[in-house]
Amino acid sequence: MEPKFTCEELLFIKKATVFLSSYLFILLILASPGCARYTDQPTDFTGVVPIEGKTTTHTVKAGETLWRISTKYGVPLEKIAGVNGLSDPTKIKEGMILIIPLKYSDENLISKKSDTPTFTGDVKLLWPLKGALSQGFKDEASGRHDGIDIKADEGTYIKSAAAGKVVYSGDQFQGYGNLLIIEHSEELSTIYAHCKSFLVYEGDEVPAGHIIASVGATGNATAPHLHFEVRLKNTAVDPMLYLPIKQ
C-alpha cells in the first residue's frame, strides 16, 4: 500500500526539497577549492589562458619597467600605457595594479591550467561598479585570491554583472561578510562580497545592470571595497577575462 499524505504534508515536503536543493548548490559553489581563502595583501596575476580581446591584471614588482611587462604579455607598451592612463610610462611604482589588454591567446605567455573550465554560453558580463582595482585574481600554489577587489566609497551601489537569479543572500560564509550569489546559467555564477546592505534577496530575479547591493567592509575587509568573483562550473576564474576593457 502506498503511503498517503495530507495536502499540508505534501506542501511541507515540496518546500523542504527546494530548500535543500538550493542549500546544496550554495555549498558546492563556496566549498570548491580556494573559496574564501583569500587575503587583502598585494598579489600578482598568473591566471589562465586569456581570451582574445579581453584583459588581465598585473601587479608591478620592484625594479619592473613597463617595457619588461609589455614584453612578458606580448602587448605593445603604448597600449598598456593608454589603457591605464599613463602619460609617462616610466612613472610606475611597485604595487601598482595595471590592466593588461590581451590581444592574443598565447599559451606561451601565460600558463594554462588543465583543469580550468571554459564558458561555452553567450552571457556577457558587465562591471558591477566603477573603481580602481586594489587586488587581482591569483591562482597558484603559494596562495590564491579567487576574484578581483574594486575600491569604492562605502554605500556605492553594486550592479548585477548579468541577468540571473539570486541564490544566496547572507553572511554565513567566513571571510566574505555580507554576500550575494547570482546564478546566470547552469555553468556561470557571480559572487559579490563585503556588502554593506542588500537591495535584492534570495529568490529574486534580476536583469543585467540592476542595483543589487551597496559597498561595505564586512567580513575579512580592512576598507570598503567589492570582492567580485566569477565561477564557471563551480570553479573560480579570472573575472578580467570576461569583463569589458572599460568599466
Q: Which residue has the higher pLDDT, 159 or 76?
A: 159
Residue 188 lies in a domain: yes
Q: Which pLDDT score is estimated for 32?
A: 47
Q: What is the percent of the chain with per-residue pLDDT over 70, rounded to a whole number?
A: 68
The three cell numbers of residue 20 are: 535543500
Residue 166 lies in a domain: yes
Any idea what the CATH number is for the domain that residue 180 is in? 2.70.70.10
**CA quadruple 65, 71, 75, 77: dihedral positive or negative?**
positive
**Domain of 77, in residue numbers:** 55-241
Q: Which residue has the higher pLDDT, 51 or 227?
A: 227
Domain total for the chain? Answer: 1
Strand segments, DSSP code E, in the chain are: 55-59, 97-101, 133-135, 138-140, 143-145, 148-151, 157-159, 164-170, 178-183, 188-198, 205-206, 211-215, 225-232, 235-237
Residue 50 lies in a domain: no
Residue 159 has pLDDT above 60, yes or no: yes
Residue 32 lies in a domain: no
pLDDT in tens, 228-245: 999 988 788 889 888 887
CA triple 238-116-32, angle to 5 deg = 80
pLDDT band at 127, cuts 50/70/90?
Answer: very high
pLDDT band at 247, cuts 50/70/90?
Answer: confident
Residue 27 lies in a domain: no
pLDDT in tens, 182-193: 999 888 999 999
Q: Which pLDDT score is estimated for 105?
A: 33
pLDDT in tens, 4-47: 555 555 555 555 554 555 555 555 555 544 334 443 333 222 33
- Given a contact cutoff of 8 angstroms between Cβ atoms, the answer to whether 134 and 151 are in contact is yes
Q: CA 72, CA 86: separation in Å to the nearest integer?
A: 18
Residue 162 lies in a domain: yes
Residue 135 lies in a domain: yes
Residue 221 lies in a domain: yes
Task: Write out the H or E segment, with its range, that includes residue 78.
Answer: helix 77-83
